[in-house]
Amino acid sequence: MPSAQGFGSNTPRTKLTQSQLNAILLRHQAFRKSQPGGVRANLKMRDLSHLDLSNIDLSDADLSGAKLFSARLTGANLSNANLYAADLRLANLEKADLRRADLRGACLRGAVLSEATMVEVDLRDGTLMHYSGGEMVAHQHEDSVLTSELTAATIRGADLSRAKIANAFVMQTDLTDAVLRGTKFMRANLTGSNMTGCDLTDADLTEANLSGAKLSGAVLSGCAINRTNFTGATLIGAILDAAQLRSPNLQAAVLAKALENPDDDLRDILVEHLSWIDSGGKAGKRADLSALDLSGRKLDGINLSAAILQCIALRGATLTGVSMAIADLSLSDLRKVDFTNADLRGVNLERATLTGANLTGAQLGPVHIQTMSGHVWRANLQRARLGMAILRNADLRKANLSGANLAGADLRGANLSEADLTGADLTGATLDGATLDMANTGDAIGVAV
């Protein structure tokens, strides 16, 4: 199936200079404001390659078939724009607004779309067209489907909620931390893409190809995975429903492993780890429980300070009073874990899922490293999911909670002094008696400044 690079490849496009484009943009701006002389921007089949369109307003504009190769569109408003079969290869669309834009058959190969808003964008197949008599006409032959392409694009942290991406090429694409809630990926090719930390809640991956994709820390709750190809896909640390875990589709995926003799193996690992701590690393062995499934286990009071626990599954486990200072629990499944009174100072919980976890009285403040520099090791909860978590009287001084989801969390009496809450979601969170002295709440949702 052809992609948009081939759209109109033999059809000359009118090249616009920056000054010509600026004149069109001024008239479009007047149109948007209903001012005299305003005209909707018609950039159909125009060549805008390498031009600077940063922060411009082209909402509702017609850019169908336009060539925007390596164009700069950072922060641009392209909501509801017609970008049908546009050539956006290597274009920079960082933080652009593409809500409900028509990108059917568009080529975004190598484009940068990090933190872009792409809610309800349409990236489904288009129909191969040609330019005739000033109008675009559909080809009248069998292979006339124009497939949208996002191959090798960078789409980190973008919001593609409810986007339509069926049948599209999305291979080797960086979708780290992207919001893909309710997104339609039916039959899309996502081979080798990085989807670490993605929110795929209620998305549709029916018959999609995710072979070799990285999905550590991704949320797939409610996601349709009928006949999805997960061959070689990394799902360690991914959040899956019980029914999904029983799906035969996951047999070829890389999943968290269980210990053969958990009681004996854990005891041996902990003994070696304590020896490693007591000797300052000269004896024993540092515990590495990464990618293991220890869900539901009772592990109260254990000492795993500075242990490596990346992508561990501890769902529903009891860890009251544990010592996990400076431990690495990034991308882990910690749903409904009981961390009451745990020592989690300086812990790394980046992109970890702690939905419904109990962290009452937990210590998540900084650790002062005993060095000449007097370095302070802060707890890292960046992009952690703490929805409905209990953090009553927890110590979160200087913690990095940027981008964290704390919706509905109980933070009564918590100490958030000097914490970084930039972009955090505290919608419905209870903050009675919480201390927010010198906390950074820039762009945070649900916090009264």
Q: Where are the beta strands (DSSP E) in 286-441?
A: 367-368, 376-377
DSSP letter assigned to residue 245? H
Q: State CA 423 to chain mean position distance.
A: 14
> Which domain range does residue 444 map to?
256-449
CA distance 108 to 91: 7
* Residue 154: band (very low, low, confident or very high) from pLDDT cuts 50, 70, 90: very high
Arithmetic mean of pLDDT, 260-274: 94
CA distance 195 to 261: 32
* Residue 141: band (very low, low, confident or very high) from pLDDT cuts 50, 70, 90: very low
Across the chain, what does the average pLDDT equal? 92
Question: What is each CA distance from 53 to 101, 439, 448, in whole angstroms?
Answer: 17, 36, 36
Beta strands 129-132 and 135-138: pairing type?
antiparallel
Q: What is the pLDDT of residues 280-308, one digit of tens each?
A: 999 999 999 999 999 999 999 999 999 99
Tell whether 21 is covered by a domain: no
CA atoms within 13 A on the CB side of 366: 17
Decide: 246 and 225 in contact? Cβ < 8 Å: no
- Please tell me the total count of domains within the chain: 1
DSSP letter assigned to residue 385? B
Decide: 49 and 69 in contact? Cβ < 8 Å: yes
Decide: 208 and 184 in contact? Cβ < 8 Å: no
> SS3 for 381?
coil
DSSP letter assigned to residue 24? H
Decide: 138 and 157 in contact? Cβ < 8 Å: no
CA distance 124 to 103: 8
Tell whether 380 is covered by a domain: yes
Residues in the chain: 449
Q: What percent of the chain has pLDDT over 70?
A: 91
CA distance 157 to 93: 13
Tell whether 213 is covered by a domain: no
- Report the amino acid identity of residue 254: V
Tell whether 62 is covered by a domain: no
**What CATH code is carried by the domain that includes residue 338?**
2.160.20.80
Tell whether 378 is covered by a domain: yes
Arithmetic mean of pLDDT, 382-394: 97
Tell whether 412 is covered by a domain: yes
Question: What is each CA distance from 307 to 226, 289, 364, in whole angstroms?
Answer: 37, 8, 16
Cβ neighbour number for residue 423 with a 10 Å cutoff: 18
Higher pLDDT, 32 or 145: 32
Tell whether 133 is covered by a domain: no
Residues 6+ apart with CB under 8 A from 412: 392, 393, 430, 431, 432, 433, 434
Q: What is the pLDDT of residues 187-246, one digit of tens each?
A: 999 999 999 999 999 999 999 999 999 999 999 999 999 999 999 999 999 999 989 989
* Residue 146: band (very low, low, confident or very high) from pLDDT cuts 50, 70, 90: confident
* Residue 161: band (very low, low, confident or very high) from pLDDT cuts 50, 70, 90: very high
pLDDT at 145: 64
CA distance 240 to 387: 16
Q: What is the pLDDT of residues 227-242, one digit of tens each?
A: 999 999 999 999 999 8
Q: Quick check: 152 pLDDT over 90?
A: yes
pLDDT at 13: 83
CA distance 156 to 428: 27
State the pTM of this model. Answer: 0.89
pLDDT at 314: 96
Q: Quick check: 357 pLDDT over 80?
A: yes
pLDDT at 143: 46
Tell whether 101 is covered by a domain: no
Q: Quick check: 138 pLDDT over 50?
A: no
Q: Quick check: 140 pLDDT over 70?
A: no
CA atoms within 13 A on the CB side of 39: 8
